[in-house]
Amino acid sequence: MAQLRDYIELTKPKQTFLLLLTSIFAYLTNISSISIVNAVHLIASMLLSISGTTAMNMALEADIDSLMRRTSSRPIPQGRLTPSEGLIFGIVLFLSGLSVSLLINIYVAVAVMLGLISDIFLYTLWLKRRNPMSIVLGGIAGGAPALAGWAASSGRIDLQGVLMALTVMLWIPAHIWYIAIYYKEDYELAGIPMLPVAYGVERTVKTIIAALSLLTAVELAMFVMKMFGFVFLILSLPFTLFLLYKSVVYLRDLSKEGARKMYKMASPLIGIIFIAMFIDNLVKTFLSSL
Ligand code: HEM
Ligand SMILES: CC(C)=CCC/C(C)=C/CC/C(C)=C/COP(=O)(O)OP(=O)(O)O
């Protein structure tokens, strides 16, 4: 049982759940074309491929995880699982998820492959240990589940799918860089040049503010281009602007404890935005049926 718990920990359940949520709600924004079979295939494909990618990431990062307070208690640094056990587990899960994605359509499989390439090859193996802006390309992995959900219901990868993925990517700087400010010493110890380590806290917060400003612009663009309506705008814009405002206020603080609060405040935003997309489409579909 302890081993099963360790294997589950390799999949980062909380992160995987929220990533799955973005995929499901991206899928449901095409309410007129959903099918139970496709929805089940999407959920299975995302759970398997996201968990697999995350387990591969943990197996490949066991060395730096053992150097960081936040991650040193994980199964592989603690020797409860070996890196090769973690890698094989991740590869099997991922390939299973990719196979299921092909049951839906080729575009979902493309999004799954984008997630793997971005998370493992661009971020984990190449950029994270070398480049302070690693999460920009690593962020494509974060947007991949939303792209997969849209592709599963629309049958294509188009501008709307790309903008929905971009929405996640522009939230990621607030998500990870507030964590990185809080754990700055950890990343320094492990030699990981996260933005706060390389350019300091103030520069990092200003970059987060720029990303949240772009996120606001993308939300407005999706409204102007009639991809989503007023319901989406009034449910997501205020929360985005609130996090933007609190980030500007945090510029005068820059404390570690303040960073932890900002990280916790950032987490729900991406869920709120994708639920807003779903509710907007639900209301639009209901009104058009009257
Ligand atoms: C480049 C992309 C990303 C990176 C580098 C990243 C990194 C991290 C890190 C370092 C943590 C803290 C883990 C810990 O507590 O030890 C975390 C937690 C988490 N991440 Fe991400 N993440 C990324 C993308 C995402 C995306 C796209 C989502 C959801 C859509 C997400 C959802 C979560 C959640 C829900 C948690 C747990 C929060 C908690 O424990 O309170 N992450 N992530
Ligand atoms: C469809 C598909 C396969 C999508 C992949 C989605 C996915 C796993 C996104 C997470 C992105 C990511 C780079 C996390 C690594 O965090 P980290 O290594 O910096 O975190 P840590 O320090 O806590 O290990």
Ligand at shortest distance from the CA of 270? 1
Note the Cα 223 to chain centre separation in Å: 22
In short, whether 139's Cβ falls inside 6 Å of ligand 2 is: no
Residue 141, ligand 2, Cβ within 6 A: yes
146: nearest Cα among 41, 218, 44, 42: 42
Nearest residue to 65 (alpha-carbon basis) of 51, 53, 79, 52: 79
What is the DSSP code (8-state) at residue 124?
A: I
Question: What pLDDT sits at residue 1?
Answer: 80
| Distance from residue 263's CA to the centre of ligand 1 (Å) | 10
Closest ligand 1 atom to residue 264 Cα is 41
Q: Find all residues with CB under 8 Å of 57, minimum gap 6, and list them.
A: 90, 119, 120, 123, 124
Question: Does the structural domain 2-287 have CATH classification 1.10.10.60?
Answer: no
Ligand 1 binding pocket includes 203 (Cβ within 6 Å): no
pTM above 0.90, yes or no: yes
Q: Is 69 in the pocket of ligand 1 (CB under 6 A)?
A: no
Predicted confidence band of residue 289 (pLDDT cuts 50, 70, 90):
confident
Whether residue 2 is predicted with pLDDT greater than 90 in this model: the reply is: no
For the segment 20-39, what is each residue's pLDDT rounded down to a tens digit? Answer: 999 999 999 987 788 999 99
Q: Tokens in use for 210?
A: 């720029």
Q: Which ligand is nearest to the CA of 179?
A: 1
User: With contact defined as beta carbons under 8 Å apart, do 67 and 190 qualify?
Assistant: yes
* Residue 53 scores a pLDDT above 90: yes
- For the chain, the domains span 2-287
> Is the ipTM here above 0.90?
yes
Q: Where are the alpha helices (DSSP H) in the chain?
A: 2-9, 13-28, 36-60, 62-65, 83-102, 106-116, 134-154, 159-182, 184-190, 195-199, 201-224, 230-250, 256-289
* Residues found in the chain: 290
In sequence order, what are the residues at sequence separation of 6 or more whose Cβ sits closer than 8 angstroms to the Cβ of residue 91?
52, 56
